[in-house]
Amino acid sequence: MTQLEHIGPPRVAPALITARGLEKHHGQTHALRGVDVTIRQGEIVAVMGPSGSGKSTLLHCLAGVITPDTGEVTIGDTRISDLSEDQRSLFRLTRLGFVFQFGQLLPELSAEDNVALPLMLGGTRRARALVQAHSWLERLGLAGMERRLPSELSGGQAQRVALARGLVNAPAVLFADEPTGSLDSLTAERVMETLTDVARSTRTTLVIVTHDARVAAYSDREIFIRDGSVTSPALESAV
C-alpha cells in the first residue's frame, strides 16, 4: 500500500481528539498560542513545523504528558485537562501508545520485555504479556529477535520494537514523535510503511510529529505549526 492508494477515514468518523485554545509557556518562550485541533477516529495526522515551532509541545499536551496553561483537551469522552496527574498516567498507559526516536527502548530489557512493558506496568503478568509481545514482534518481522537487547538491534529493528511496544496495549491513539529521526532514508521509509499499515489495519488514530515532508506524505492530513500557532497549508507552501 502506498500513499497514493491510501484509504482515508470515512468522512463521518467521529472526532476522537479535540483541543481548544491551548496556550503553553516554557519560561519566557510562548510555545503554544491558542491552538485548536480536531482529529478523527482512525485518522493519520502529521503535525509539521520547523524546530522550535511547538509541535512536540502540542503532542505532549494532546497526550496528557503536560498540561496546557489554558485550554482543554478531550480524547473520546475523557477531558484530559480534568484528570489528576495519576489519572493521566493511567490514561496514557491504557489508552495511548508512544513511539519515539531511536534509543527510547529500555537498554537493560530484551526486545520482548520492552514490548511487553506497557502491559506489565498495567498489571498483566509477564508470561501473559509476552504472548502478546511475541505476536506483535512476529507481525512486525522481528521473530527470532525476542531475546536481543536494544544494543544488539539495528536502528530499524529497534524502531519496530518501539512500534510494537506502542501498539501492544491496543491504544486508541498512537503518538509518534519524529519516529524516523535517526534512521537512513530507506529504513525510514520501511518504518513509516509499517507504522501506517498497522495503524490503518487496526483503525488506530496516529498522530505523527515530524519536520520531514516525506514522513508527512504518509498521513491523511497535515497540521502546520509555526511559532506556536496552527497555520494554513497554503501559507506553509508559500513559506
Which residues are near other proteins by CB under 8 A? 26, 31, 51-52, 55-57, 60, 63, 65-66, 85-86, 88-94, 96, 98, 100, 104, 106-110, 113, 116-123, 125-127, 149-151, 177
- Residue number with CB closer to other proteins (41 or 89): 89
- Residue number with CB closer to other proteins (9 or 118): 118
- Residue number with CB closer to other proteins (6 or 128): 128
Reference 93, options 166, 183, 3; nearest CA is 166
Least separation in angstroms between residue 6's CB and other proteins is 28
- Residue number with CB closer to other proteins (53 or 196): 53
Query: DSSP string spanning 90-146?
Result: HHHHHHEEEE-STT-S-TTS-HHHHHHHHHHHTT--HHHHHHHHHHHHHHTT-TT-T
What gap in Å lies between CA 40 and CA 70, rounded to an integer?
Answer: 23
- Taking every pair of Cα atoms in the chain, the longest distance, rounded to a whole number of angstroms, is 54
Least separation in angstroms between residue 133's CB and other proteins is 12
- Residue number with CB closer to other proteins (9 or 71): 71
Least separation in angstroms between residue 12's CB and other proteins is 31
Query: DSSP string spanning 191-231?
Result: HHHHHHHHHHHHT-EEEEEES-HHHHTTSSEEEEEETTEEE
Least separation in angstroms between residue 151's CB and other proteins is 5
Least separation in angstroms between residue 54's CB and other proteins is 8
User: Partners of 146 in the beta sheet?
Assistant: none
CA 79 to chain CA centroid, Å, is 19
What gap in Å lies between CA 233 and CA 165, rounded to an integer?
Answer: 32
